Chain A
């Protein structure tokens, strides 16, 4: 029986997580593009937050 608990069996020989591949393939092309937009927006929010936190820190 497949062991789902360690994640190792969900990767191909190159280490790609095939569960993510399958999840992406289950979407329509437009849904995949919109998902990429959301990822980029999230990355930008994190970057902005990081910059804000650095600005809040007192200078050495």
Chain B
């Protein structure tokens, strides 16, 4: 796995190949739908079923995932218990940064986000991506400055797409 070329697209491809159930959210979801922005990490909301946690943990181990706050001399491997909850686990992997989110704003989890998502083709597979309308809705409700800064680009993308 370490021989794979680092890159967020390859990281997504590996998630798909490992049959991990997830919805792509955050900046990369906006990129995939045409927003003229760039981002350095992959944000996913993963299904928290036992089977899916098994698949996710297997992939994270293969990608030598470690919590980003604990790199270097005191690395911390992924915690299945943490991934089973609604919290956010922020990893560095061989292929790039990966944020595994149990739930996002308003407690939205995988099951709640799937109906608001669109499927996009990625190689031989398919990735569920949170729809641009919902991304904008969540950014509008966010009090974080970084989300407010991204809004105009997302709104322009939605307007030009229609």
Contacts and interface: CB of A to CB of B under 8 A. Distances in A.
Main secondary structure of the interface of A (DSSP, over half): helix
B156 A29 contact: no
B146 interface: no
Contacts of B33: 29, 32
Contacts of A43: 38
Interface string B40-75: 100000000000000000000000000000000000
Contact of A36 (B39, B122, B157, B159): B39
B8 A14 contact: no
Contact of B9 (A14, A18, A33): A33
B159 A32 contact: no
A44 B54 CA distance: 33
B160 interface: yes
Contacts of A18: 156, 160
A15 B152 CA distance: 8
B43 to A, nearest CB: 13
Contacts, number: 75
Given A14-B152, A33-B8, A36-B8, A22 B31 contact: no
Interface string B1-31: 0000001110010000000000000001001
Contacts of B107: none
A40 B120 CA distance: 22
B155 interface: yes
Q: Which of B34, B35, B39, B121 is packed against the most chain A CB atoms within 10 Å?
A: B34
A46 interface: no
A37 interface: yes
Given A24-B34, A33-B31, A37-B8, 9 more contacts: A12-B156, A14-B156, A15-B152, A16-B152, A25-B157, A29-B32, A29-B122, A30-B120, A30-B122
